Chains A and B, each alone.
Chain A
C-alpha cells in the first residue's frame, strides 16, 4: 500500500487560509469516508484534528475543516494562527483492512 500524496510544505500569513491536499486511490481515499487529519508539533505526539473526512473532535477549533472529492481529501485552515505551525498528516482506511498515512506537510506561518 503506497503512502498517500501530500505537498511537502505550505505556508501562509496570519489570518489567511490554507488548504492541504491528500491524494490516494479508489482503494483508499476514494473508496471510504474514513479519512483523518493529524497535527504534530515537534517532539510531540500527533493530535487528531479531523475524522471521517469532515468531523472535528471536541476541542478542535472550527477554523479546521475537511472535505473530499474523488480520490483527494483536503484540510483547510482558516484564520491562520502562529500556533498552527506544525506538520500535518492525512490517513485513510484501505481496501486491505489497513490504514495508510500521507507523507506529511510542513505548515509554516509567515
Chain B
C-alpha cells in the first residue's frame, strides 16, 4: 500500500525558515517524480513544485510565487522528500501535501502557519 506521511509543519514568523518532510513507502521512491501542493485555509489547491527522479535528471521546477525561496530535494536512501522554505511570508500559510504518481497518491498534509 502506498503511503505518504508529511511532517515538520508548525508556526513560524515572517521571514523565517522551515523544512517539511514526506516519508514514502509502498512504491519504488527512487523512480518516482514527486511534487508538493499547498492549500491555504478555505482556499483552493496550488501547485508548489516538483522534483524528477535522479535517473531522469533530478531537475526541479517551481511555481512563480515560491521560486527562489523554496527548494525541493530528495533522499532516496531514506525514501524521503523535503521542502525547504525560506523567507516565509504570511501568504505561505497553508496545508502542504506531497504527491506521487502524477497525482495518484497524496499524503494527509502538514499545516504551516506563518504569523508574528
Contacts and interface: CB of A to CB of B under 8 A. Distances in A.
Interface of A: 1, 3, 36, 38, 40, 45-48, 51, 57, 87, 89, 91, 96-104
B106 A99 contact: no
A100 B47 contact: yes
A98 B62 contact: yes
Contact of A36 (B49, B64, B102): B102
Contacts of A98: 47, 49-50, 61-63
A45 B64 contact: no
A45 B45 contact: no
A57 B103 CA distance: 10
Interface of B: 35, 37, 44-47, 49-50, 61-64, 97, 102-104, 106-109
Given A46-B97, A57-B104, 18 more contacts: A3-B44, A40-B45, A46-B37, A46-B103, A48-B103, A48-B104, A51-B102, A51-B103, A89-B44, A89-B45, A91-B45, A91-B47, A99-B47, A101-B44, A101-B45, A101-B47, A103-B44, A104-B45
20 contacts: A1-B63, A3-B44, A36-B103, A38-B45, A40-B45, A46-B97, A46-B106, A47-B106, A51-B104, A87-B44, A89-B45, A98-B47, A98-B49, A98-B63, A99-B47, A100-B47, A101-B37, A101-B45, A103-B44, A104-B44
Contacts, number: 52
A105 to B, nearest CB: 10
Contacts of B61: 96-98
Nearest to B63: A98
A1 B85 CA distance: 21
A6 B106 CA distance: 23
A89 B35 CA distance: 17
Contacts of B46: 101
